[in-house]
Amino acid sequence: MHQRSGYDGHTHTSFSDGRNTVVENVRAAEAVGLECVAITDHFFEPGEWFDRMLAGINVARQRCDVHVLAGAEVVIMNTEGEVSIGPEEAHKLEIVLADIGGRTLGIATDAPSTKARLLDNVTTCMVNACQNPLVHVIAHPFNLGRFPLPVYITDIPKTSLRSIAQAFVDTDTAFELMNQMHWWFPDVPVERFTRDYAELVGLFAAEGVKFVLGSDAHSAGAVGNLRWAVNLVQLAEIPPPQIVNLGKLHSESGGRR
């Protein structure tokens, strides 16, 4: 067998809105030569699905020659940085991604009427989410182009970006480079978006922030598709030590806190 390398830190299965099973995603990861794949279904609320998901991951671990991280993608509920998972479930996982989503109060719902106040909420929300000890990674940061009051990357003041970057560094929270990030900005040409996002990511890299790569695959066929994210690593000139090796995270036991 060839030496496996690389990982995909963000995939969905039929336990949330993905098309395929856990085993199918993990087999796809094995087929494309990844060392490690994270199963990160949406966690809106606890339920018996959660234990079935953990059991599915154990089956996949027995059947495939890939490290499988048990994870979830949780919603940041409000600007205080509270999330949709509790400690009991979170502590059964190896990786918790958190994002601003359609249910985030003060940004996606009940948002202020001015862009300046919305941007204040975004800053507060992200700083507080980093400080939430249940959160390891902020998924697709600044995915703000599809909410009722859309915000583009270059609208965000540099001072806000620096204080958010500081929160990432202080709490050792990782910034996800999500391969389908352009989806959040449907009216912006991909090339322009890539350039603008690379500049933002470069600022975070210069502040010492760590990064995780993820496809956000919703089907087995998209697992391991990280070409855009890898391109971004180069464009933003991220030093290799600032890319978290999730394969290594798996072999060390326990989380970072």
What would the two tokens of residue 15 be?
């336990």
For residues 35 and 216, which CB has a smaller minimum distance to Zn ion in the complex? 216
Query: Which of residues 41, 73, 89, 176 is near Zn ion by CB under 5 A?
Result: 73
**Strand-strand pairing, 67-75 and 95-99:** parallel
Q: Strands, DSSP E only, in 45-204?
A: 67-75, 95-99, 137-138, 174-178
Instruction: Please choose, out of 65-73, 86-94, 158-166, 186-194, the segment that lies near Zn ion by the rule CB under 5 A.
Output: 65-73
**C-alpha 75 chain-centroid distance:** 11
For residues 89 and 216, which CB has a smaller minimum distance to Zn ion in the complex? 216
Least CB distance to Zn ion at residue 214 (A): 8
Least CB distance to Zn ion at residue 73 (A): 5
Burial class of 12 by CB neighbour count within 10 A (0 to 12, 13 to 18, 19+): buried
Q: Nearest 5°: phi and psi at 64?
A: -130, 150
Least CB distance to Zn ion at residue 77 (A): 17
Least CB distance to Zn ion at residue 149 (A): 22
Question: Do 8 and 226 touch, CB atoms closer than 8 A?
Answer: yes
Instruction: Please choose, out of 13-21, 71-79, 88-96, 127-135, the segment that lies near Zn ion by the rule CB under 5 A.
Output: 71-79
Residues 216-235 that bind Zn ion (CB under 5 A): 216
Residue numbers of the site for Zn ion (CB under 5 A)? 73, 216
